Chains A and B, each alone.
Chain A
Amino acid sequence: MSASAEASVLITHEVGLHARPSVKFTKLAKTFAADVEIALAANGPWFDAKSIVKVMAAKAPKGTVLHIRASGDGANDAVDALAELVRRDFDEGADHVRTA
C-alpha cells in the first residue's frame, strides 16, 4: 500500500536540530520503509530525513517550524513518530544542561 503524510512541528530544543538530536532523528527515520524528508519551509527545499549529513546541513535552530513529509509504506507512522520525537524535545529535557 502506498500512502503519503505530512506534519509540521516546532523545534523547542535549546540549540535546535543539532548533533545529538540529529543522530536520534535519523536513526528513527531509518526504521521506516517510507521515504521521509524534512524542510524548514512548507515549500522546501526538502532534505532526506534518513541522512544525518543532510539533516545537519539544514541547520534548523530553536524556534524553527520543522516540516516532515513521507511517502510509501508506513508514511503516516513515520511522520507521527518523528513529529512526536521533536515534540518530546528529543527525550532530552533538562539533562542536556551541563553544570559549570
Chain B
Amino acid sequence: MSGPHRLQGISASAGYAEGPLFDLDRTAAHYTARATAADEKAALEAAIDAATARLAALIETADGAAADILEFQIAMLGDDALGRPAFAAIHAGQPADRAWRQALDAEIAGYDASDQDYFRARAADIRDIRDQVLQALTEDGDVLAPAGAILYGDDIAPTRFLETDWSRGGGIALKAGSTASHVAMLARSRGVPMVVGLGASAAKLAGTALLDAEHGGIVLSPSRAEIDAFRQSSSSFAARRDLAGTFLARPAMTRTGTAVRVQVNIADPSDVDGIDIATCDGVGLMRTEFLFGRTLPDEETQYRAYRKVLEWAGEKPVTIRTVDAGGDKPVPGFTVEEGNPFLGLRGIRLSLARPQVFRVQIRALLRAAVHGSLKVMFPMIAIVEEYRQAAAMFAEEQATLAARGIAHEMPPLGIMVEVPSVAIVPEAFTEAAFFSIGSNDLTQYVMAAARDNAAVAHLNSVRHPAVLRLVAAVAAFGQRQGIPVSLCGDAGGDPASIPSLLEAGLRDLSVAPAQLAMAKAAIADVSV
C-alpha cells in the first residue's frame, strides 16, 4: 500500500495509540480429527475444561466488571445445555471442532437477532467462549500481540482484552464492534483507546498505524508529518485528560465566570449507564437511528428506550432527535438508494415521506414524555413547512392518544440547524421552540465537502469563518428572540473548536460522554 490511508469510525474510548497493527482475525489453526466419536467427545470435553480453567485463572486477577464477564462466561461453559447440540452432532459423526462451532454459532445468532442492544452485545461474549474452546481444541499456542500494538479486526473478545498488557500503550480498532460492548466498557474504565465501526477495508492492513480514538479515526502507513502531528495531539490529550479529571464534577464555567451548559450526546439508551447525571446538564442529543438498525422498531420498543433515558435524567432535559436515517445512515426497507444521498431523502424529508413509520415514533415520544423533561427535534429541516407538517402530525397523534385515554404529554418541538437555508434565514423558523446547531452537517453543506470523504477533510472545518459567521448569526438571533440555541455536533466536544464556538455566542454545547471532562476543561480556558 502506498501513501497514508485514513479510516473513520466512532470513538468508543478516547485516547491515542501509535503502534504496529495486530490482526485479530487470523485464521485458526487446523484441527486434526480423532479416530472415533468417543475420542471426539473426549477432546471436546477436555477443551471445555481447559477453557474453563483458563477463564478461572484470569478471574483471580480481575476486578469489578471484568470479573463479572468472566464469571458469566464460566457459568455458560459450565452449563451442559451449551454443549448439548455439539455432543449430539459428534454422536452423529461430526468432528469436535465443527460440531462445537456450529452449536455456538447457532447460539450467537440468537443474540445477534435480539432487538435489544444489551442482549445483542452479548454475542461477542459467546463468540469469545466459542473461540476459547476452539483454541484449546486445536492446541494453538497463544499468539500474543506485541506490547503497544493496535489490535485490529472485526470484533474483539473480552478475554483477549483482559490478557493483553495495556501498561505499555496500544489500542483497539474494530471494523464492526459496538460502543455498548463489554470490551468498550472495559476500555473506557481502563483508559485504553478504542474505535469501532471503521468498516471493511479492501486494503491489506499491516505496519504502523496511528489510532486517534479522541476523534474516532485511524491512519495507516502514516507520513512523517502525520506522525509528528499525531504525537503533538497525543501529548496534548494526555495533559488535557489529567487536568480535565478535576473539572468533570463541576459545572462548566469560563475563565471569566460565564456559565456554559454542557450536555451529552448519546446514541443508545445503554450509553447512559456509564454516565453520572450529576456531571452534565442533560442530554442535548439522543439519536434514534440505533432503533432502526435491522428492522423498523415497534412503538413499545421505542417507548421503553426513550423512557429509560428520561428516567435516568430525572429533571434534566433530554432532547431526542426523530430518526435521521438516509445520507450515510441507510436503513433497509426505510431509506431509498440515491446517487447523492447527503442531498437526498434523509432526516425529516424521509420521515414525512414515510408517515406510517414516523407516526409510530411520534406516539412513542408523546407517551415517553410523561416520564421526564423531554424535548423533540427534527433533523434536516430546510423550510418551515416541514416543521409545520411534523408538528401537525404530533398534534394529530396527541389527539388520538387523548381519545384512547393513554397517558402522554406534548414536548417542546425544535429543529436542527444544519441546512444552510435555516442558518441564513433563521427568522423564518420562529415557530420552533428551540434551535440545535448540527455542526457536522452544517459544515459539510456550507463547505460542500462530504464529511465521509478523507480527500476533502481539510475543507471540512467548523472553524472556517463562513461556518462560524452562520453559527454566530443563529446564536445572536436566538438571543434576541428568546429562542434557546445549542450545538450538538462533534465540534462541541473538540477542545480546539470550543473557544471559537463560545466567541460566536454559544453557551450551550452537547458533547460525547467521553469528551465531557475535556470540554469543561477547555471551556475553563476561554475568556468570554
Contacts and interface: CB of A to CB of B under 8 A. Distances in A.
A57 interface: yes
Interface string B272-287: 0111100100000000
A53 B65 contact: no
A98 B189 contact: yes
A19 B513 contact: no
Nearest to A59: B119
A72 B72 CA distance: 28
Which 6 pairs across A and B sit closest by C-beta, in order of nearness? A53-B81, A19-B72, A51-B81, A15-B118, A52-B75, A53-B82
Nearest to A23: B75
Contacts of B514: 100
Contacts of B270: 15
A100 B110 contact: no
Interface of A: 14-16, 18-20, 22-23, 26-27, 48, 51-54, 56-57, 59, 61-63, 96-100
A34 B275 CA distance: 41
Given A100-B248, A100-B274, A100-B516, A20 B68 contact: yes
Interface string B61-72: 000010011011
A98 B119 CA distance: 19
A48 B82 CA distance: 13
Interface of B: 65, 68-69, 71-72, 75-76, 79-82, 107, 110, 114, 116, 118-119, 122, 125, 185, 188-189, 248, 270, 273-276, 279, 304, 308, 513-514, 516-517
A26 B162 CA distance: 25
A51 B79 contact: yes
A52 B71 CA distance: 11
Interface of chain B, helix or strand or loop or mixed? helix
A56 B122 contact: yes
A18 B76 contact: no
Contact of B275 (A18, A20, A100): A100
Given A22-B72, A56-B119, 15 more contacts: A15-B116, A15-B118, A15-B273, A19-B69, A51-B79, A52-B75, A53-B81, A53-B82, A57-B107, A61-B116, A97-B273, A98-B274, A99-B275, A100-B513, A100-B516
A79 B116 CA distance: 27
Contact of B276 (A16, A26, A100): A100
A99 B189 CA distance: 9
Given A62-B304, A97-B273, A100-B276, A54 B81 contact: yes
B185 A98 contact: yes
A27 to B, nearest CB: 8
Contacts of B273: 14-15, 96-98
B65 to A, nearest CB: 7
A18 B185 CA distance: 16
Nearest to A14: B273
A10 to B, nearest CB: 14
A53 to B, nearest CB: 4
A26 B75 contact: yes
Contacts of B308: 14, 62
Contacts of B517: 100
A53 B513 contact: no
B114 A59 contact: yes
